Chain A
Amino acid sequence: MWRYLARRLVLTLPVLLGISIITFVLIYYLPADPARMYAGPSATVETVDRIRRELGLDLPLWQQYTNYLGKLVQGDLGFSYRKQTPVLELILSRLPYTAMLIVSGIFVELALGLPIGLASALARGRLPDRLGMLVALLGVSAPPFWLGLMLLYWFAFQIPIFPLGGVEHPTSIVLPALTAGLGGAAWYARIMRSSTLEVLAADYVRTAHAKGQSRHLVLWRHLLPNALNPIITMAGMDIPWFIGGVVLVEQVFAWPGLGRLAVEAIQTVDVPLILGTVSVTALIVVLSGILVDLVQSLVDPRIRLSR
């Protein structure tokens, strides 16, 4: 397993390298002038030119990139043009908030989605099933940022239980986490339902029932471990989407996370900050993918880590 893990980690390097190249090339062709953005609107042409030379922005693309890489290897992500602060420091200060949102959002996805899907499957065709699946279908179809605004309207404005935004209050996380997780919960409910139905029809479940095992035991020993398998696969595919959604959720709730930082960076053409936020987000996506694969191999011994 350790060898596998090392191999996967090494393989993420070319992925991250590729992503940084694409991002670098994209920024190079941004119509806005980073030197001008750095210097501010009132700076003279001479100042802007001087800044361009100081930042190395007058160099050819490949040279700018190798300079960037050279510093990156030393753990230097550069200086934000706009905020005049090291990019790494900015990212580290925002990372805990995004991590909190990701973890609590995934918790909402699983804590709501799995029981609903399971209950739906066990009540197949009856009212709870139909109701559960209707709600899930609506949840899959509603835009997350809109759900967030609706939650804000009802549970922060009309019935002021939760704060309207920000992070000051301990309950501040509730609405953003719900917003981030509801869509995914609906997906998981649908998948959990169909995978439970598939397992329910399997021979080993019938056998377990036939030999007189209690419903309780069948559920926990035979049904759940097998029904959860597709959920874990799904979680792996869901992560890039989920993190994309987090960007929007942060926007709705003024949540000071990485997503908002990245959006700001793109809007102000803050080159080092764009590179930093995009790379770190990509790193999170890649690492979570590896984590999901590991979890899956632990849960399902049939899957061997050998790719």
Chain B
Amino acid sequence: MGAPALSSVGVAPARAGVTPMAYWPLVWRRLRRDRAAVAGLALVAILALLALAAPWLAPYDPAEQFRDGLTPAGQPLPSTLPEGSLRFLLGTDAVGRDLFSRLLHGARVSLTVGVLANLLTVAIGTLLGATAGYWGGWVETLLMRVTDMMMAFPTLLLAMALVAILKPSMGIIIAVIGLVYWTWIARVIYGQVLILREREFVTAARALGTPRRRILLAHILPHLLPTVIVWGTLGIATNVMLEASLSYLGIGVQPPVPSWGGMIQQGQAYYRTAPWLVVAPGVAIMLTVLAFNLLGDGLRDALDPIQRGRD
């Protein structure tokens, strides 16, 4: 990354008695000292590893139904079998599938959708927000009115309708989340560009006759990087939650592919007799969202050029 160029403008002017330090090493140092952020980073790394290694770590095929996977009465098996065996670590679901294997494979869906959909939302949001903020005029009016309209749209319903039309699959869900949820980032970026475009270095570049497109790409975009990184992390948490919500409503990734939201939906009918079917995937979602929230919060503090009086 163009660290030197950034450090000169991304960091607040060095105060008296403070040794100036390059921007990115400073960010990394602050992040390392933030225990919550480090915990988040570690959790994200563990989850990513589990998702990647799911086919090798999972004891069974997530779709395999075991004949001995149900009680004689046809009920899901709890994890604590009377005979104390560890055949099914977390018990089985309503059709005798291994819950632990399904959880591990569910991580793949959650993280893939969370990360890829967020790349898309951040890309669309940054592009539209920056264009609207920098171009001004009718482009600004048009883009921001569209953003306002999209923000008023009941997004979950819009996503539902879209997924219903396009037939749910992982690619479609990623695309739909991307198309529906870019508005927040667009707003934030737009606000920042409005401030940035009045800064001296932009005026200077304009005075030198730099083309507008180049000013936007070479001078303004690098300053948006911290915002993009923070939203790029926090947004993953949001998207993991969204994917789970869509799956819970039955319009996520379709069975037999296991997804955490779908597992909660299927387990819901048994929540009185087999609560672990609902508890386990819920905890998995919570841990994943928590990990990205912790990391995102930490990044926000670490990337903030002026250390605010908080914490």
A282 pairs with B278, CB closer than 8 A? no
B272 pairs with A157, CB closer than 8 A? yes
Residue in contact with A149 in the complex, picked from B160, B165, B268, B287, CB distance below 8 Å: B268
Please give the distance in Å from B255's CB to the nearest CB on chain A. 17
Number of interface residues of A (CB under 8 A): 46
Q: Does chain A have a CB within 8 A of B13?
A: no
Encode A238-271 as 1/0 by CB contact (under 8 A) with B: 0010011001100100000000001100110000
Q: Does chain A have a CB within 8 A of B84?
A: no
B289 pairs with A18, CB closer than 8 A? no
B151 pairs with A137, CB closer than 8 A? no
B154 pairs with A240, CB closer than 8 A? yes
Number of interface residues of B (CB under 8 A): 44
A137 pairs with B164, CB closer than 8 A? no
Q: Does chain B have a CB within 8 A of A61?
A: no
- Near B by CB (< 8 A), chain A positions 164-211 give 194, 197-198, 201
B153 pairs with A22, CB closer than 8 A? yes
Given known pairs A26-B165, A141-B289, A286-B152, the reply for A198 and B278 (CB within 8 Å) is no
Please give the distance in Å from B107's CB to the nearest CB on chain A. 15
Encode A149-168 as 1/0 by CB contact (under 8 A) with B: 11011000100000000000
From B237, which residue of chain A is reached at the shortest CB distance?
A: A141
Q: Does chain A have a CB within 8 A of B155?
A: yes
Q: Which residues of B contact A143 (CB under 8 A)?
A: 241, 244-245, 248, 261, 264, 282, 285-286, 289
Distance A137 CA – B292 CA, assembled complex (angstroms)? 11
A248 pairs with B248, CB closer than 8 A? yes
Q: Which residues of B contact A266 (CB under 8 A)?
A: 157, 160-161, 164
Q: Does chain B have a CB within 8 A of A5?
A: no
Q: Does chain A have a CB within 8 A of B167?
A: yes
Q: Which residues of B contact A123 (CB under 8 A)?
A: none
Distance A177 CA – B241 CA, assembled complex (angstroms)? 20
Encode B242-273 as 1/0 by CB contact (under 8 A) with A: 00110011000000000001001000100110
A262 pairs with B157, CB closer than 8 A? yes
Distance A249 CA – B157 CA, assembled complex (angstroms)? 14
Please give the distance in Å from B189's CB to the nearest CB on chain A. 15
From A195, which residue of chain B is reached at the shortest CB distance?
A: B310
Q: Does chain A have a CB within 8 A of B145?
A: yes
Which of A39-47, A226-234, A273-281 interfaces with chain B? A273-281
Q: Which residues of B contact A281 (CB under 8 A)?
A: 154, 157
Distance A138 CA – B165 CA, assembled complex (angstroms)? 35
Q: Which residues of B contact A248 (CB under 8 A)?
A: 156, 245, 248-249
A251 pairs with B249, CB closer than 8 A? yes
Given known pairs A153-B271, A248-B245, the reply for A142 and B310 (CB within 8 Å) is no
B286 pairs with A197, CB closer than 8 A? no
B152 pairs with A289, CB closer than 8 A? yes
Please give the distance in Å from B93's CB to the nearest CB on chain A. 15
Distance A118 CA – B171 CA, assembled complex (angstroms)? 43
B residues contacting A by CB (< 8 A) are 145-146, 148-149, 151-158, 160-162, 164-165, 167, 237, 241, 244-245, 248-249, 261, 264, 268, 271-272, 275, 278-279, 281-282, 285-287, 289-290, 293-294, 308-310
Given known pairs A141-B289, A141-B293, the reply for A247 and B154 (CB within 8 Å) is yes
Q: Which residues of A contact B290 (CB under 8 A)?
A: 137-138, 141
Distance A140 CA – B149 CA, assembled complex (angstroms)? 26
Given known pairs A19-B149, A141-B289, the reply for A146 and B264 (CB within 8 Å) is yes
Given known pairs A19-B153, A138-B290, the reply for A152 and B310 (CB within 8 Å) is no
From B260, which residue of chain A is reached at the shortest CB distance?
A: A143
Which of A27-35, A50-58, A72-80 interfaces with chain B? A27-35
Q: Does chain B have a CB within 8 A of A301?
A: no
Given known pairs A137-B293, A263-B160, the reply for A153 and B275 (CB within 8 Å) is yes
B268 pairs with A285, CB closer than 8 A? no
B152 pairs with A19, CB closer than 8 A? yes
A149 pairs with B271, CB closer than 8 A? yes
Q: Does chain B have a CB within 8 A of A15?
A: yes
Q: Which residues of B contact A15 (CB under 8 A)?
A: 145, 148-149, 152
Please give the distance in Å from A66's CB to the nearest CB on chain B. 20
Q: Does chain B have a CB within 8 A of A145?
A: yes
Q: Which residues of A contact B153 (CB under 8 A)?
A: 19, 22, 240, 278, 282, 285
Distance A153 CA – B268 CA, assembled complex (angstroms)? 10
B268 pairs with A243, CB closer than 8 A? no
Q: Which residues of A contact B286 (CB under 8 A)?
A: 138, 141-143, 146
Residue in contact with B164 in the complex, picked from A30, A140, A240, A285, CB distance below 8 Å: A30
Please give the distance in Å from A4's CB to the nearest CB on chain B. 16
28 A/B residue pairs, CB under 8 Å, sorted by A: A14-B145, A14-B149, A29-B165, A30-B161, A137-B290, A138-B290, A141-B286, A142-B282, A142-B289, A143-B261, A143-B264, A146-B281, A146-B286, A149-B264, A152-B271, A157-B271, A240-B152, A244-B154, A244-B156, A247-B156, A248-B156, A266-B157, A277-B157, A278-B153, A278-B157, A278-B158, A278-B161, A282-B154
Q: Which residues of A contact B272 (CB under 8 A)?
A: 153, 157
From A152, which residue of chain B is reached at the shortest CB distance?
A: B271
Greatest chain A CB density within 10 A among B149, B165, B264 is at B149
Q: Does chain B have a CB within 8 A of A23?
A: yes
Q: Which residues of B contact A277 (CB under 8 A)?
A: 157
